[in-house]
Chains A and B, each alone.
Chain A
Amino acid sequence: KQEVTQIPAALSVPEGENLVLNCSFTDSAIYNLQWFRQDPGKGLTSLLLIQSSQREQTSGRLNASLDKSSGRSTLYIAASQPGDSATYLCAVNQAGTALIFGKGTTLSVSS
């Protein structure tokens, strides 16, 4: 059974810092992996989707990497800003199942 883990559960950094969020999964047989952002009380916003054949995807200050063989993905945020404060979730997609989510990392960026 696939399990997705995100460590740390919470992270506080000063504005301007570069940071890395981690996601690990137990079964490497995935189609793709997706990173989402969730603001308090809101829905999820898709940030990046990495297909299983890809190693990384970039969007603006965000870069997500995928290492299927080791069951790991990272989300790199460059030059963090207070507006980046949110919960970040990763989710994996496998054949015959719905997306399986981690419990997220809550990021707080102070000015």
Chain B
Amino acid sequence: KAGVTQTPRYLIKTRGQQVTLSCSPISGHRSVSWYQQTPGQGLQFLFEYFSETQRNKGNFPGRFSGRQFSNSRSEMNVSTLELGDSALYLCASSPPGVTGELFFGEGSRLTVL
């Protein structure tokens, strides 16, 4: 069974640009969550999607947005990039019926110059 797949794995952007990250969950998983990981703040929750609806949202500015498609794949977008957005962005999917159990992808490493 394939795991959670995130693309791209690495990317470099400049301030002011925007970026779109993609996540394909494990087959059969309908819930997808996104986290930002930085050395200083650790893992911080961005948002969660279930059946194409945002179910939960963390405390991030409106520049951070996401969506989920009918096949459960998810994308997140960051507009007007800032230096502080440099981070590892992790996507996780959850199986039905087990609250809180997450399976993570390898992440997308974003560097903003």
Contacts and interface: CB of A to CB of B under 8 A. Distances in A.
Interface of A: 31-32, 34, 36, 41-46, 49, 89, 91, 93, 96-104
Contacts of A34: 100-102
Contacts of B45: 98-100
B23 to A, nearest CB: 11
Interface residues of B, number: 23
A46 B101 contact: yes
Contacts, number: 55
Contacts of A41: 88, 107, 109
A99 B42 contact: no
11 contacts: A31-B99, A32-B99, A36-B104, A41-B88, A42-B106, A42-B107, A44-B90, A44-B92, A46-B104, A98-B48, A101-B43
Contact of B103 (A42, A46, A97, A98): A46
Contact of A98 (B33, B105, B107): B33
Interface in B1-51: 4, 6, 33, 42-43, 45, 48
Contacts of A49: 98, 100-101
A34 B98 CA distance: 12
